[in-house]
Amino acid sequence: MSTTPAPQPTPTHAQLEAVLQAALYLLGARQDQMLTLEEWTDLARAVAACQERTTADYLTGHDLEDIAERYALEWDEATDGALPTFDEE
């Protein structure tokens, strides 16, 4: 016999506004490069895992290029998604 989870209360407008404001602060911090790419990637991985998406879905093209070209981040294409490839001339 399985139990049905208790219904969760609907968030209030004030709670949703607080989450939105926090998200805006976080986005602003990233734009100002106050978060490292490693920190941003860790956050993207956590969200992607919860949403059954890839890490790359939550990063910008510029972030993905930096990971592919400059950073020695562990990257698993099966779960993180594809990185851009660059032809060396």
62 located within any domain = yes
C-alpha distances in angstroms, 43 versus 11, 13, 81?
Answer: 23, 25, 15
71 located within any domain = yes
Is pLDDT of 68 > 70?
yes
Mean pLDDT of 66-83: 92
19 located within any domain = no
Position with higher pLDDT, 56 vs 8: 56
- pLDDT for residue 81: 96
Tally of structural domains, the chain: 1
9 located within any domain = no
2 located within any domain = no
Q: pLDDT tens across 24-56, in order? A: 778 788 778 777 888 888 888 887 887 788 999
52 located within any domain = yes
15 located within any domain = no
3 located within any domain = no
Alpha-carbon distance of 74 to 52, in angstroms, equals 19
Please give the residue range of the domain that contains residue 42.
30-80
Q: pLDDT tens across 78-89, in order? A: 999 999 987 655
